[in-house]
């Protein structure tokens, strides 16, 4: 009987441990996912603010002016769309977090399971489309020309 009691005690301890681990994971996982989505939002917003401010700074200078900026991205996809002259960031979210609003001319929204951040700068014509994803990205932003009230901006990676 002594061996049986020790075996039952060990089984109960293992069962309690597994139960506590399962409960912890069920509570901690959503918190981690929400933190990752908040980080993705803040990263995308910060990078778009940097890009927008750089474009506005260059457009106020003379033709031929350029800047090189380094962006580090852990989440999402950045798209420079020459057809709509917008700069977009999208990230597939993993939590139920929801965002919407406008900050410094940058729109933030969630739709379904996607975080979308985008901006359109007045009187700016983005001449080429560009897409970049996670990692270190170096962008060269140049004032190419001025035509019909629009500053034409060239963005290369």
pLDDT tens digit sequence for 20-70:
898 888 888 888 888 999 899 899 999 999 999 999 999 888 888 899 999
Q: Averaged over 9-15, what is the pLDDT? A: 89
pLDDT tens column, 72-95: 889 999 999 988 889 999 999 988
pLDDT of 117 strictly over 80: yes
Q: What is the mean pLDDT of the chain?
A: 88
**Up-side HSE of residue 47: CA atoms within 13 Å toward CB?**
32
Percentage of the chain beyond pLDDT 70 is: 97
List the chain domain ranges: 2-156
Q: What is the pTM of this model?
A: 0.81
- C-alpha 13: how far from its chain's center? 43
| Residue 39: φ, ψ to 5° | -65, -45
pLDDT at residue 54 in the model: 92
Q: What is the mean pLDDT of residues 2-22?
A: 84
Distance CA 60, CA 67 (A): 13
């Amino acid at each position: 009987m002594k061996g049986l009691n020790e075996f039952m005690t060990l089984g109960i301890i293992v069962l309690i441990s597994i139960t506590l681990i399962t409960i912890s994971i069920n509570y901690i996982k959503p918190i981690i996912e929400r933190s990752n989505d908040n980080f993705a939002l803040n990263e995308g917003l910060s990078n778009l603010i940097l890009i927008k401010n750089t474009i506005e700074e260059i457009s106020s200078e003379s033709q031929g002016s350029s800047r090189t900026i380094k962006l580090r991205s852990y989440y999402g996809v950045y798209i420079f769309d020459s057809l709509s002259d917008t700069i977009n960031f999208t990230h597939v979210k993993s939590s139920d977090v929801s965002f919407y609003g406008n900050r410094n001319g940058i729109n933030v929204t969630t739709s379904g399971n996607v975080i979308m951040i985008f901006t359109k700068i007045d009187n700016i014509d983005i001449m080429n489309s560009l897409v970049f994803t996670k990692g270190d990205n170096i962008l060269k932003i140049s004032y190419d020309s001025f035509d019909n009230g629009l500053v034409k901006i060239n963005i290369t990676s």
